[in-house]
Every structure is written in C-alpha cells, then in structure tokens.
Amino acid sequence: MIFLTLALLSFGGPLEEAVKAFEEIYRSYSYLMKVNHDDNEDIDMVLRYYYLKPGFVRMEMVKPFEGALLTYDPEVGKAYLRPFRMIEGFVLELDPGSRLIRGPSDHRVDESDVLTLLYTVTELLKRGEQRVKEKEGLFVIEVVGKEGHKVRNNISGFVLKIAKDTLFPTYAASFDPEGDLIEEVFFEDVVINPDLDPDFFRIKR
C-alpha cells in the first residue's frame, strides 16, 4: 500500500462533518456502486444501491447475477432475496447475516450503508492517524491504525475520497495490516434525499 503524503491531522474535519451529515441531514440516497476486490482494474461487482432511514436497503444487481434483487427491512429485521428477475414469486427470506448474501469482504446487508462505513473509519481512527488533503473538489482522507490496530476483523487502513460540496463519498478503499487491498468501492451517479417509500424496499411475493 502506498500511503499518501499528507499533513497529519487530529480527529475531526471532513470525516466528522460527513458523519454529522449522514446522521442529521441525509434521510435517503441512491448511487451506482462499483466494487473491486483485488489489484486488477476489472470491476467485480456493479449494483444500484438505495437507502432510506431508519435502515431500509435495496440492491439491484447489474454484475454478476444481473436482475437479482436484495432488500432489507429494518422493521422486521429480515433480508429478502429474489435471485431471478424472471421468477418474481421466488423470494427467499433470510437473516441479514446469512452467508448466502454476504459479499466477498463479508459485509452484511444491514450494515451496508454509508454511515456504517464512516463509523468504521472513525472507529479505526480512535487508535490511528488521519491524513487529509484537498484535491479537485474532494477531501482525500487516509486513516491508518497504530501498532497494527484493526477493525472489522482485518482492516487496518482506509482511503476515502469525499466530495467537498456534499460530503458524500466518491471512493472508499480498505487495506489489511500488510497493506494489501481488501476492497475498493466507487460511488457514481449519487442522488441525495430522493423521495423513497418503504414499500419500494419490499419485494412482492
């Protein structure tokens, strides 16, 4: 992992402001998520992601498994998977921690929102260092755990790019203690506070 040459800052600044925005201002959002899990430039997963407070999630798969649909309903604490678009009535009810719907980096659908990401970075920062620079309308934030400190099992480093005007991430990458990439996510076509209804997150059977 090549660390950015940035000015060392104490906790605060754009990361803290982003957390506040997602806690207090952003009630819903959607974006096109592109995910990579190795050093190759090829994108491993593409999906359209929707979120509505207090925790509704909808993921429309584009690659792989085009047409698959995964939702999470916080009111009942269950995830629902429709693996085949052409068979609308075939829907699986699952625990959100089910291995069947965990991603390659072991993410849970009920912990897939942006605020959870920001909380995880903040947790690492409690026993880590933060470096920030400004570049082309972005805050570029690097957080590294001190003395091998890790969160979420094996994450000891993050690089975030956050838009200055919205404080919404455009890029997030996590690294293990050896500096190897665990996962990188590109956030594209972001829509903040769209008018979404809880029924949009419920799959009809």
Per-residue pLDDT reduced to its tens digit, 23-42? 999 999 999 999 998 767 77
Is residue 140 one of the residues assigned to a domain?
A: yes
Give residue 5's pLDDT band: very low, low, confident or very high (50, 70, 90).
very low
Is residue 130 one of the residues assigned to a domain?
A: yes
Give residue 133's pLDDT band: very low, low, confident or very high (50, 70, 90).
very high
pLDDT at 136 over 70: yes
pLDDT score, position 108:
92
Is residue 22 one of the residues assigned to a domain?
A: yes
pLDDT at 10 over 50: no
Mean pLDDT of 115-134: 95
CB 176 within 8 Å of CB 149: no
Q: Give the CATH number of the domain where residue 143 resides.
A: 2.50.20.10
The residue with greater pLDDT, 38 or 6, is 38
Report how many domains make up the chain.
1
pLDDT score, position 123:
94
Is residue 44 one of the residues assigned to a domain?
A: yes
Is residue 2 one of the residues assigned to a domain?
A: no
The residue with greater pLDDT, 102 or 183, is 183
Mean pLDDT of 78-98: 88
Give me the domain span that covers residue 144: 7-201
Is residue 1 one of the residues assigned to a domain?
A: no
Is residue 182 one of the residues assigned to a domain?
A: yes
